[in-house]
Amino acid sequence: MIYDWKKIVKHGIPLLTLCVFIEIIAGQILQGGQDMLIKLPIFLISIPVINGVGGNIGSVLGARLASGLHVGYISLDISDKKMHENLITSIVIGITVYFVLAIIIYFTASFGNTQTENMIGLIEFVSIVLGAGILLVCVISLVSVFTAFWSFKKGLDPDDTVAPVVTTVGDTLGITFLFLLIGVVGI
């Protein structure tokens, strides 16, 4: 297949424009929680990690699905066994990575924290980050599968659509889930 850059740009501009506006909403959500982030900066450190891991897992899953769809390894059948294996593997990897990174972030932040009265407990912190991560990786994985299948059915290249969609949804939901779980835990 020969790729025409003009076609890629033509199909990509509307999607990327939509993604820009959704990212502005994510920024507004982040600004809304600014007071809490100043009070507990450990969560400010966590946001890029939560969003990055979610985006990376969703993008890798999307790339695997796109490759599988292109070569016929994965079918458009929603009950495809290989698709399910990729989906479950992505979720398990995401949960494991969020757990390990939550502990690393906590201890790294506690070594540099001179204001111990603003420190959150390890169990609370890991619960919040892990909970936000689990929610995010599950939703992002499903978004990745849906976007890859939908774009392939529509004749678009999933390689060009999955990454921007997953990144945008991941950034917005990562921040939202983090603030939601902070509220649930009661901090």
pLDDT in tens, 113-153: 645 455 788 899 999 999 999 999 999 999 999 999 998 88
The yes/no answer on whether domain 49-111+118-185 falls in CATH 3.40.50.2000 is no
* Confidence category of residue 9, pLDDT binned at 50, 70, 90: confident
Return the sign of the alpha-carbon dihedral for residues 137, 138, 144, 145.
Answer: positive
**CA 58/CA 143 separation, integer angstroms:** 8
Domain boundaries, the chain: 49-111+118-185
Q: Helical H runs in the chain?
A: 5-32, 34-39, 41-71, 81-112, 122-153, 158-185
